[in-house]
Amino acid sequence: MLEETVLKQIRSIPGNKKTLGQMMNREGVAGYVFILPFLVGFFAFIIVPMLLSFGFSFTRYNILGKPSFTALENYRTMFFSDPKFWKTFGITLYYVLFSVPLRLIMALAVAVLLVKSSKLSGFYRAVFYLPSIIGSSVAVAILWKRIFASNGVLNALLGVIGFHTETAWLGRPFTAMWSLILLAVWQFGSSMLIFLSGLKQIPVSLYESATIDGASGMRRFFRITLPMLTPTIFFNLINQIINGFMAFTQSYIITQGKPKDMTLFYTVYMYQNSFTYGKLGYGCAMAWFMVLFVGAVTLLLFVTQNKWVYYEAERK
Amino acid sequence: MENYSTHRTFITGIYHVFTFLFACVMIYPLLWMVLSSFKDTTEIFRKAQNLLPETFRLTNYTVGWKGFAGYGFGIFFRNSFLIAGLSTIGAVFSSSVVAFGFARCNFRLRSLWFSCMLVAMMLPFQVIMIPQYLLFNKIGWVGSYLPIIVPQFFGQGFFIFLILQFIKGIPIDLDEAATIDGCSIYMIFGKIIFPLIKPALVTSAIFSFMWRWDDFLSPLIYLSNPLQYPVSYALKMFADPTAGSDWGAMFAMASLSLLPIFAIFLTMQKYLVEGIASTGIKG
């Protein structure tokens, strides 16, 4: 009540009303008013938790108890006495190293195939894009399990073409891992769309003059298409690498890390440590290691980009 | 000349045969799952190579719909619509406001905050899930939808970026004319820009809804009461060996869980493609 009357009094002074309105309308202030949601969210849900977790990474912390400071113990355990840490890291690295390039190559190849427009272009585009929309869902994870089971679809289809087998694809380390990689490659659709729009932006005149100069199709691809697409490839690569390291659902649902933790992804192990074993301090340390590692990889790519990424503006 | 054109037809033919076959391979797993949801469970095992069911049966759907431990899929679908719907409304509106600020206002430290936005956009949820969990646990939100929905109301990097690109394409003359007519910057946003960015809002809404619908990790971390489960998480529980292994019912519910996504995909494909093409970021 009191506040209201005070406010009324303030507003009744003509000069004040103006300055208040004016201040809100000043671009410098208005900008902050508009981005306020982002700023609040950024600090509340990213910066503060990140700083807290940095602190917790130096403690032994069970969710029920109080954190007790143990200095670098978590990091020491991680690096020197937890073989599972390096194992899951290596497995994830393997997954990224194969799934990301394969997915990008597939995306690029199909994009080149689809850039030629025909009556069926829309249909093809839809079919190739669909898996990347639903690929990370639990439904597809369940489906994948059935496909590669010993009495699953793959073996049945192999039987049809006369190759009878009862291989449990998800029961062997190598094939289990590759079924996960296959799932990732299957979702090449969104990268394909990005490449497709990149391809359409390459000036036709470049191809025309190259053809006149007698360049073959292969040569045109490697000398024009590929270099012109490098900025697109670059951003795709960074995105896919980050996403690849964060893969979770596939390993968690399809293989559950089996056999013998040979498909246990880093994020799943991090999850297990934090929520199954209740070692939140250790989980925080693992999360921070991942942030720094992925950050370093991203930085490395950015630093080396002028060696292989072609930006048109630079050459002018 | 005639020879050349038959040669061309031949090449086009090969192209279509090849692309079409490849498309079939790509879609085969999905087709198989959807069609298997109409099969008898024993048939799924016995004749896994068959695409079409011997007889179309809806039993799997009626059985699956009952869910597990007394919790039906009706509840799970309602939960998913609630979570995905609220998250989407929050994400789209807050992102549009933030995008306008970045696109049309000059303020101090703008480029710094913009870089922060980009970093936040690249930062995956998996990295901040443990810290966030600790925060939400402290304030007693764990076990509710709040940790899943509320962060969406503070702008999402990808959508901010997408809408920002769209606003940049709107001529600034409009803003200037409105200013001369006495519009404040808030009115410019509400009355002029907001109605004009509808396509970008629709694109953002589609992506947001699909991502939230598919999201599995945050329900896994924050929810423990089956009454609160969204479809994605319920499906995982349903598929656990302890709940039995009725693959027919499982495929029925899995197919059903993809139905909203399929529907959006079929009707809104144009927006999805444009959204991906204009930002160059994975969708």
Q: What is the ipTM of this complex?
A: 0.86
How is residue A309 written in tokens? Answer: 């990424």
Count the neighbouring beta carbons within 10 Å of the beta carbon of residue A92.
23
Is the predicted pLDDT of residue B22 greater than 80, yes or no? yes
For residue A164, the distance in angstroms to the closest alpha carbon of chain B comes to 12
Specify the fold of A82-315: MetI-like fold (1.10.3720)
Q: Which CATH number, 3.20.20.120, 2.60.40.1120, 3.50.50.100, 1.10.3720.10, labels domain B67-279?
A: 1.10.3720.10
Which candidate from A45, A134, A143 shows the least CB-CB separation from B261? A134
H or E stretch including A159? Answer: helix A153-160
User: For chain A, which residues make up each domain, given as ranges?
Assistant: 82-315
Interchain CB distance below 8 Å, B48 and A48: no
Question: Got the DSSP string for chain B?
Answer: -HHHHHHHHHHHHHHHHHHHHHHHHHHHHHHHHHHHTTS-HHHHHHTTT-SS-SS---HHHHHHHT-BTTB-HHHHHHHHHHHHHHHHHHHHHHHHHHHHHHHH---TTHHHHHHHHHHHHHS-HHHHHHHHHHHHHHTT-TTSSHHHHGGGGG--HHHHHHHHHHHHTS-HHHHHHHHHTT--HHHIIIIIIHHHTHHHHHHHHHHHHHHHHH--HHHHHH---GGG--HHHHHHHHHSGGG---HHHHHHHHHHHHHHHHHHHHHHHHHHHHHHHHH-S--
Between A4 and B63, residue with greater pLDDT: B63
What's the pTM value of the predicted model, to 2 decimals?
Answer: 0.87
Which carries the bigger pLDDT value, residue B259 or residue A66?
Answer: B259
pLDDT tens column, B85-113: 999 999 999 999 999 999 999 888 999 99
pLDDT in single tens digits along all 316 residues of chain A: 455 665 565 555 555 555 666 677 777 889 999 999 999 999 999 999 888 888 988 988 887 778 888 888 899 988 999 999 999 999 999 999 999 999 999 999 999 888 887 788 888 888 999 998 888 889 999 999 888 988 888 888 888 888 888 888 888 889 999 999 999 999 998 889 888 888 888 888 888 888 888 888 888 888 888 888 888 888 889 888 988 998 898 889 888 888 888 899 999 999 999 888 888 899 999 999 998 999 899 899 988 888 888 776 544 3
Quote the crossing angle between the two packed helices A83-115 and B2-36, to the nearest 10°.
140
Mean residue pLDDT across chain B: 88
CA distance A207 to chain B (A): 19
Identify the pLDDT of residue A176.
Answer: 92
Q: Span B36-43, mean pLDDT? A: 86
Higher-confidence residue: B261 or B55?
A: B261
For position A9, what pLDDT does the model report?
59
Say if the Cβ atoms of A275 and B210 lie within 8 Å: no
Task: Return the minimum-mean-pLDDT range out of A57-66, A120-129, B26-35, B132-141.
Answer: A57-66
Per-residue pLDDT at A315: 43
The nearest alpha carbon in chain A to B267 belongs to A126
The predicted-structure confidence for B208-254, as pLDDT tens digits, reads as follows 999 999 999 999 999 999 999 999 999 988 887 655 578 888 899 99
Instruction: Name residue A137's amino acid.
Output: S
B101:A32 CB<8 A? yes
pLDDT at A4: 60
Nearest Cα to A135, choosing from A240, A263, A237, A250? A250
The SS3 of residue A69 is strand
- Chain A nearest-CA distance from B22, in A, is 9
Cis amide leading into B147 (omega within 30)? no
Name the residue ranges covered by the structural domains of chain B: 2-62, 67-279
Which residues from chain A sit within 8 angstroms of residue B250, using beta carbons? 142
